[in-house]
Amino acid sequence: MKTVKRIVLGIVVSILPAITYAQNVITGHIVDALTNEPLIGASVIVKGEKTEGVVTDVDGNFSLQTYHEAPLKLKVEYIGYRPIDVEVYDAEEPVDIKLREKHDFLDEVVVLGYTTVKRQNLTGAIASVKGGDVVSTAATGFNEQIQGQAPGLIISGTSGTPGSNVFIRLRGTTSINAGNDPLYVIDGVPFNSQPLQTISNGGQTINPLSDLNPNDIEKIEVLKDASATAIYGARGANGVILVTTKRGTHGQKTRVSFNAEYGFAKAAKLWDLATGPETAQILNEAWVNDGKDPALIPYRSKESGGLGTPEEQQTYDRQDVLFRTAAVQNYNVSVAGGNERTRFYVGGEYTNQEAIVKTQDFQRLSFRVNLDHDINKKLTLSTSTSLSWTKRSLSRIGNSPKGILQASVHHSTLLNPFNEDGSYARYGIFDNIYALIENSNHHAYGLRTVDNINLSWKILKGLRFKSSVSLDYNNYREKRYFNTNLADGQPSGNATDATTQNYTITAEQLLNYNADFGKIHSLAAFVGNSIQYTGLRTQSISGSNFPGNSFQEISSAAVTTGTTASSTSTLVSWFGGINYSLLNRYAFDGNLRADASSRFGSNHRWGIFPSLGLSWTLSEEEFLKGIKFIDALKLKTSIGWSGNQNIDDFASLGLWSGGGTYNDKSGLLHSQLANPDLKWETTRQWNIGLEGSFLGGRLSFELDYYNKYTYDLLLSTPIPGKTGFSSIYSNVGEMSNKGVEFQITSQNIKSKNFEWTTSFNISHNANKVEKLPVSFSQYDRDWVRLEEGKPMYSFWLYKQLYVDPETGNAVYEDVDKDGKITVADRQIVGNAWPDFTGGLKNTFKYKNFDLSFFFYFSVGNDVFNMNRFFQEHGGMRGTNWGFLKSQMNRWQKPGDITDIPKASTLPNADGSYNNGFASSRFLEDGSFLRLRNLSFGYTLPKTWTAKAGIENLRVYVNMTNLFTITGYSGADPEGNTAADYTHGTVQGLDFAIPPQPRQIVFGLNVTM
């Protein structure tokens, strides 16, 4: 028996090495059938044995070891390409496969907040933007760079200052006093998009999204309808923008990519100012028109006691002093790779953008490390870590008389900026432009880290549990010093030093289940919980009376004051969702989120946000299957509720404030009444849409109609004075947004040497304040009005009908017919909402050349041209304020037909003023068509670069804002001087804002 055992053992021993020997190696090469470009990451698996499989490397090659003997069956797959079955009869022969692109957009996988769904089974409205489409436009924040690329997303660059904030609205505006910006989620981390700026900068704010390096972005998903956003509950009412950054992939050869850009920026258009002689002429004319003695006009010969004749006046245009050709540079390097167990992406970037106005620039140094490691077959550990440092040089622009723009543009051109002794001359409220440029000392330093670490456990096939912790920490320090050479530094210097810290810690647990049951049922479900803790702390110290201009630290100041403030909030959430598809034809999507926020009153702390979605893929029905040119056609609808919790942390609490000093004794002040009933602003939204793909995916479109209704708007409502307070926040207002979005993409030509694709989108949103107890104005000047039945951003002005050709007086509409023009005659004459916005992009590739151009357009948005309001003053503002050249078109003699009244400073008989009256005369159509980006590149032939080990080398030139077609008379129809106004509730006021520059950037991209 023992002998038999030994013989058996011997046989086993003999067979084992034989089995080892039997392992076959199959090699091959996978390329794109049209371009012959290698396909990196294509999977090659032995059919029926999923454990035997590989992916192609960076050259499209693979080497597959298998115990199977020929003939064996392989499946070759690659996302976006038609899979191919291969039967290998000769294992020695290389498997060289050409895959053809599959233009079936419904097969695309869409990343949602907590799950991924095939586009075929998607019931919501979601727009996707690829990372490559983001970086082609020169801007510091990706939210500015995606302008015009996602229908329904209105984005407006409020200023030409790099790093400054943008106006962004997704499917309209839903709130007045809570935030209106969408929720940003970067790799699963909620990203705080509120600027931490505390020092007013003339109406301009910084863009917190500039803290993120756009080069790191892989993909952006814009979640628009409630089916997609309700799962973000109390933060989803304004839409959600999901950003996925780049990561390494399995089996990816380490790839190094370097990108360098250098270029220039310059204002495409500035203000056309009246010359010194013209200014004098207008002022003389106003003198006469006001009925004063013509012999004593101010600009008459010096011999007669005047200031010199108009012809003798010099012209001092200060715009050339302020504006410059700015240098723009960006350097980005990234390394990505992975083996069977570990994937990595490491990125680093430095950008330095000078503004077109001196004294302003933006610098950013950022790093990112994204790591994934398969601990074993069940557990995967992932981290996403980014760290960025920013430095901004700032100066006041906008509505700030001592700011650089007003000192440059609004100054009268006949006034010499220097006194006779060579010192700086100052006139009226304006500071001297030379002094402002030479002594500007205002900087802001940001340090931000956004991190996520998560552990994913594959419990069973299709069942996965993920636990993650994330941190968004932002430290923002501002330091401004006015020395004694500046008007604001009088008499002995003035400085502010402020630091604001904001942090959000989120812990999240998520259980996902995805399964396909044959070809009939498909299921994706998830349930999860998250706890979010947010803190905000500000410390600010100010000093004045410095010993000298060399002493700039506040500790040197004789007088110092300081303030501190801090608050925290917590959000606890439970959520779950299910997406079920039958026969890939009928899909149901249901989501539910319960949020509890510490920001709301104790009586309404929890909010429930459900959503339902349905889709019907008509192209899977028999009656459409025979129509070959239709690849896919889907009808979808959804309804859901989402909230807005973007209010102050302690908004519902009764507050006592310290600092109520009385007789040098400390005391407390009751600063806010409690409102335990304060609750969410809730938005109900329904959506119906149709999307389709035709002609083998060459043509695809999406059409959506949505209806959003927001109720329980947070408004300040009056209360009896005996309470000691005049108002209290409560939920009383209502607002609606209805709109249509359309997007079409066409692959016009695709051949081996030439490709041409076009994409176009257009969207319309109609906003209306449905319920408002009392009309009220926004902004310091009461021109922007909130009124029931009217849209937000409405302009409340006098309506100028015409200029009387005989008298030269402006004639305004007398609304109440009382014969007088008073405040009661002001009316809403327009609004800043565009009727339509959209984008058109064309991309061409011919052999190694590539060309793309992207137009952005906005139609029907009104802009109140405040520059004209102040600089067509007809003499009203005296000698120090200059005129725009357009003032020369004023009425000057009987019979003149014009809309600019005569120069005068006195009121008319009806009580109106010809000049200085906020009227519809200054409200202009701000429609524009802008060539936002033109990019031209050339990729060197690989036969040239391969010898140097370079996989890809492209040289290119990117041109931004090359031209703008508009009837608007100002420098930039997108400018907004009140970007910092409460939650962006003022839009379309153009005043002393540097225009968005025209940029040309030369770049080099090398991949090894």
Partner 1 sequence: MKKLYIAIFTVTFSLVGNSVWANTHVENNSETNSVENNNNTTTSSTYYINAPRFVRPLIEKWISEYRKVDPRANFAIAKTAETKGKSSLNIQLKETSANNDLAKHTVYFAEYAILPVTGKNSEAAKTLAKQELNSKNIKSLFFEKDDFEEPNKTDKKAAAYVVYTGNSSQSVSAEFASYYGKDASSFRGKRIVGDDLFLNTAIVKDPQGITFNAIPNIYDLNTRKLKSDLVLLPIDVEKSQRSAFVEGSTIDELIRVLEADRGNNIPVERIGFSYQDGDSNITNFIAWILAEGENYNHDFGLLRLDAKLVAQQTKLLSSRLTAQK
Exposed e or buried b per residue across 166-193, where buried means at least 16 C-beta atoms within 10 angstroms of its C-beta: bbbbbbbbbbbbbbbbbbbbbbbbbbbb
* 696 is an interface residue for partner 1 by CB under 8 A: yes
Q: Please report how close the Cβ of residue 100 comes to partner 1 at its closest, in angstroms.
A: 5
Task: Say whether residue 379 binds partner 1 (CB under 8 A).
Answer: no
Residue of 568, 540, 546, 571 whose CA lies nearest to 559: 546
Distance, CA of 657 to chain centre: 36
Using H for helix, E for strand and C for coil, what is the string for 192-226? CCCCCCCCCCCCCCECHHHHCCHHHEEEEEEECCH
Which of 39, 42, 46, 95 forms a contact with partner 1 (CB under 8 A)? 95
Pair 593, 609: CB distance under 8 Å:
yes
Q: Which stretch binds partner 1 (CB under 8 A): 139-147, 562-570, 695-703, 764-772?
A: 695-703
Please list every residue from 30 through 69 that binds partner 1, using CB under 8 A: 33, 69
Q: Which of 448, 577, 578, 455 is nearest to 507 (CA)?
A: 455
21 binds partner 1 (CB under 8 A): yes
Judged by CB, which is closer to partner 1: 13, or 295?
13
Among 58, 61, 98, 828, contact with partner 1 (rule: CB under 8 A): 98
Nearer to partner 1, 8 or 774 (CB): 8
**Is 608 a binder of partner 1 (CB under 8 A)?**
no
| Pairwise CA distance, residues 136 & 937, whole Å | 11
Instruction: Give the one residue of 48, 63, 65, 100 binding partner 1; rule: CB under 8 A.
Output: 100
The residue range among 97-105, 890-898, 918-926, 935-943 that interacts with partner 1, by the rule CB under 8 A, is 97-105
Give whichever of 699 and 735 is closer to partner 1, judged by the CB atom.
699
Closest separation in Å from C-beta 86 to partner 1: 5
Tell me the C-alpha distance between 795 and 777, whole Å.
9
Among 15, 25, 327, 824, binds partner 1 (CB under 8 A): 15
CA dihedral of residues 976, 981, 982, 986 (deg, nearest 10): -40
Q: How far is the CB of 60 from partner 1 (least distance, A)?
A: 14
Does position 272 interact with partner 1 (CB under 8 A)? The reply is no
Distance CA 890, CA 92 (A): 88
Question: Could you give the CA distance from residue 87 to residue 91 in angstroms, rounded to a whole number?
Answer: 10
Whether 408 contacts 318, CB under 8 Å:
yes
Nearest distance from C-beta of residue 94 to partner 1, angstroms: 8
Q: Which is nearer to partner 1, 13 or 460 (CB)?
A: 13
Residues 203 and 981 sit within 8 Å (Cβ to Cβ) = yes
Between 6 and 50, CB nearer to partner 1: 6
Q: Is 320 in the site for partner 1 (CB under 8 A)?
A: no
Q: Does 22 bind partner 1 (CB under 8 A)?
A: yes
Minimum CB separation of residue 696 from partner 1 in Å reads 4
Output the smallest distance, CB 621 to partner 1, in A: 16
The count of residues interacting with partner 1 (CB under 8 A) is 41
Q: Which of 35, 57, 91, 321 binds partner 1 (CB under 8 A)?
A: 91
> Pick from 9, 327, 507, 774: which binds partner 1 (CB under 8 A)?
9
93 binds partner 1 (CB under 8 A): yes
Short-list 764, 715, 770, CA closest to 741: 764
Burial grade of 794 (CB within 10 A; 0-12, 13-18, 19 or more)? buried
Closer residue to partner 1 in complex, CB, 27/329: 27
Regarding 630 and contact with partner 1 (CB under 8 A), the answer is: no
* Residue span binding partner 1 (CB under 8 A) among the ranges 12-20, 360-368, 373-381, 587-595: 12-20
Which of 37, 49, 59, 90: binder of partner 1 (CB under 8 A)? 90
Q: How far apart are CA 647 and CA 681, in angstroms?
A: 10
Residue 751 exposed, middle or buried by CB count within 10 Å (0-12, 13-18, 19+)? exposed
Nearest to 977 by CA among 201, 142, 137, 89: 201
Closest approach, Cβ 21 to partner 1, in A, equals: 6
CA distance 87 to 95: 10
Nearest CA among 313, 275, 320 for reference residue 297: 313
Which residues in 587-611 are b (16+ Cβ under 10 Å) and which e? Answer: bebbbbbbbbbbbbbeebbebebbb
637 is written with which tokens?
């609808």
Question: CB 579 → partner 1: shortest distance, Å?
Answer: 29
d(CA 414, CA 429): 16
Report, in Å, the least distance between residue 851 CB and partner 1: 23
Smallest gap from residue 8 Cβ to partner 1 (A) = 10
Q: Which residue has the tokens 């008389």?
A: 401
Please select the residue that binds partner 1; options are 53, 57, 61, 86, rule is CB under 8 A: 86
- Kindly tell me which residue out of 45, 64, 88, 863 binds partner 1, with binding defined by CB under 8 A: 88
What is the closest distance, in whole angstroms, from the C-beta atom of residue 18 to partner 1 in the complex? 4
Q: Does 818 bind partner 1 (CB under 8 A)?
A: no
Taking the least distance from each CB to partner 1, the nearer of 550 and 943 is 943
Among 512-520, 690-698, 722-730, 887-895, which window interacts with partner 1 (CB under 8 A)?
690-698
Q: In angstroms, give the least distance from the CB of 996 to partner 1.
A: 40
Q: Which stretch binds partner 1 (CB under 8 A): 93-101, 118-126, 271-279, 469-477?
A: 93-101
Task: State the residue for tokens 């009928």.
Answer: 586
Tokens 């809730």 found at: 682
82 is a contact residue toward partner 1 (CB under 8 A): yes
Among 70, 614, 728, 801, binds partner 1 (CB under 8 A): 70
Q: 698, 885, 954, 983: which one contacts partner 1 (CB under 8 A)?
A: 698
916 torsion bin: left (phi>0), alpha (psi -120 to 50), beta (else):
left
Site string for partner 1, 939-978 (x = CB under 8 A): ----------------------------------------
624 binds partner 1 (CB under 8 A): no
What distance in Å separates the CA atoms of residue 121 and residue 39, rounded to the nearest whole number? 27
Counting beta carbons within 10 angstroms of the beta carbon of residue 27, is it exposed (0 to 12), middle (13 to 18) or buried (19 or more)? middle
Minimum Å gap between C-beta 754 and partner 1 is 15
92 binds partner 1 (CB under 8 A): yes
Which tokens hold the place of 349? 């970037």
Phi, psi of 8 (to 5 degrees): -60, -45
Q: Which of 695, 744, 801, 1008 binds partner 1 (CB under 8 A)?
A: 695
Question: From the CA atom positions of the chain, what is the Rg in Å?
Answer: 33
Give the number of other Cβ atoms within 10 Å of residue 4's Cβ: 8
The CA distance from 840 to 965, in Å, is 15
Q: Which of 37, 49, 59, 87 lies at the binding interface for partner 1 (CB under 8 A)?
A: 87
Burial of residue 681 (number of CB atoms within 10 Å: 0-12, 13-18, 19+): buried
Q: Judged by CB under 8 A, which stretch of 37-45, 83-91, 186-194, 948-956 contacts partner 1?
A: 83-91
- Tell the smallest beta-carbon distance from residue 6 to partner 1 (Å): 5
User: What is the smallest separation between the CB atom of 698 and partner 1, expressed in angstroms?
Assistant: 5
Using CB under 8 A, list all residues that contact partner 1. 3, 6-7, 9-11, 13-15, 17-18, 21-22, 33, 69-71, 82, 84-100, 103, 628, 695-698
